[in-house]
Amino acid sequence: MASIDTVKFSLFFVLLFWNCNFLPLSQGKEDHPYIKKASSFSSPSISDTSLNKAYDYIIVGGGGAGCPLAATLSQNFNLSSNSASQYFVSTDGVFNARGRVLGGGTSINAGFYTRASPRFISKVGWDAKLVNESYPWVEKQIVHRPKFSPFQRAVRDSLIDTGISPFNGFTYDHIYGTKVGGTIFDRFGRRHTSAELLASGNPDKLTVLVHATVQKIVFDTTGKRPKAVGVIFNDENGKQHEAMLGNNIQSEVILSSGAIGSPQMLLLSGIGPKADLQNLNISVVLNNRFVGKGMIDNPMNALYVPSNRPLHQSLIQTVGITKKGIYIEASSGFSQSNTSIHCHHGIMSAEIGQLSTIPPKQRSIEAIQAYVKNKRDIPVEAFKGGFVLSKVGSAWSVGELKLINTNVNENPSITFNYFSHPLDLKRCVDGIRMALKVVQSEHFTNYTLCKKKTAEKLLNLSVKANVNFIPKNANDTTSLEQFCKDTIITIWHYHGGCHVGKVVSPDYKVLDVDRLRVVDGSTFTESPGTNPQATVMMMGRYMGVKILRDRLGKLTGI
């Protein structure tokens, strides 16, 4: 084993997506010289693997897992990101979004921070000691105690009265009952994302290319097993470049592009079902029928909370965790504010009920984009309520991801098959019943200054506010099963596509391929905790430490 002094790690960190907002360029140059436009990259020839032109690690993706992974691997940069997302609609008809920005989903989500349960940690086979060291590493840098709002106080008290008890106070831990979790928004309302975790990295061993669109992974297929040797990417001007790994057998390309981006990149690079690849004229590097399979999204449904009191914006702070695997959360006040005008949060139904005036069959991507563009003209008074959200955790309904074409900029076809498993539908019904009790509680009616409404009235208001592409049925307010099916929305907790044992090994190396690994939520068979972002960021740190310890042993120093 070479000593730490002779192994000079050079980490090449590629942001996969072209739609990137980051620090102003002048600030990036002065304070973070390793942040560079993709066009500044000078490609070595494929045979030139000298240390000054080749890299020990190439990370594809700068999201929740990729940023802490890069910071850790660079061995010991302070970024802030504006929201940027790309629309997509699953074949189920549910409107969705994926983060295409430095920081990934942490730059466009509701900010809620909560750890995974001990059961999840045990199930995935992680070292509990290292896990309990990796979570605080994230928390000390970007996680805060929320500024508790009156709306969330009503949520808390209503959850406890509904029987979701005990109250566990403020905690990051996943505990049955009602609790207040952490947030990546500070007390001034500023969002802190995984991109800020790069501040813990070593700037001398880190290169961050923005506006770089990775086209595919490059393989050497002359040996018994395909071996990753680099990536091909386009810069912001459309020029193509190659970033190559060094000759060290421990150097790796690491996909951290998320549950959509990582399986999509494997398929575009020739790893996946042989017949599907051949239909798109993609050269087959490895036939693996499981790539893109096992896609799961936790179904969520929302109940509208009418209010005669103007509500301040309140993102998710409180959660009720039940033993049935149902999570009850809430948000409020998304109407005519600076953030709702200028940002698109993805969960349209939990923000802007007015879009329900567009008939479901006319809710095209273009119609939604036009609505978002024009929503600044809506009066402040038009929408001032909130939503109680019911999410089914550990969903059993499974779908798949398939390529439509070979253009990395376009979304693949994604099917989640919501409620195809009867247990998911049963739990949704149970969750809606709980949510109805929460909305009807005196804590809510006292706060909203609204009289208690019947379940039918609340369901009817919620159906009208719901935004997806699924036609509504006449019995939505009489059949909770039908209500669940017709008002399904997402909260971005999709996962799968690169499952352990089918696509990757327990240490996340791609099966039957050398020097290629996947580190993100695409490897999960269930979403950790009530919100996965804490665990995805922890995973980046955790795997960075594991990789370095495997490579350097005691010389790692972490």
Contact residues for 558 (Cβ-Cβ < 8 A; gap 6+): 72, 75, 76, 545, 548, 549
Enumerate the known binding-site residues for FAD.
Answer: 101, 214, 492-493, 521, 532-533
Q: Are 483 and 476 in contact (CB under 8 A)?
A: yes
81 phi and psi angles, rounded to 5 deg: -125, 140
DSSP letters, 413-442, are: EEE--TT-SHHHHHHHHHHHHHHHHHHHSH
CB-based burial label for 223 (10 Å; 0-12, 13-18, 19+): exposed
DSSP letters, 55-90, are: BSEEEE--STTHHHHHHHHTT---------EEEEE-
Of 174, 443, 493, 495, which one is the catalytic site residue? 493
Question: SS3 of 286, please?
Answer: strand
How many beta carbons lie within 10 A of that of residue 170, not counting itself?
Answer: 13
Pick the closest to residue 346 from 109, 91, 20, 82 (CA basis). 109
d(CA 466, CA 135): 35
Residue type, 382: A
Residue type, 31: D
How far from the centroid of its chain's Cα atoms is residue 397's Cα?
19
How many beta carbons lie within 10 A of that of residue 374, not counting itself?
Answer: 9
d(CA 97, CA 491): 9
Q: Are 519 and 252 in contact (CB under 8 A)?
A: no
How many beta carbons lie within 10 A of that of residue 36, not counting itself?
Answer: 18
Bond from prior residue into 166 cis (ω within 30 degrees of 0): yes
Q: Are 58 and 230 in contact (CB under 8 A)?
A: yes
Contact residues for 55 (Cβ-Cβ < 8 A; gap 6+): 10, 11, 12, 207, 243, 244, 245, 246, 251
Residue type, 244: M
Active site residue 493: yes
Q: Are 264 and 88 in contact (CB under 8 A)?
A: no
Enumerate the known binding-site residues.
Answer: 101, 214, 492-493, 521, 532-533
Pick the closest to residue 334 from 357, 354, 316, 314 (CA basis). 314
Pick the closest to residue 402 from 410, 391, 390, 392 (CA basis). 410
Provide the token pair at 44.
């070595």
Catalytic residues: 493
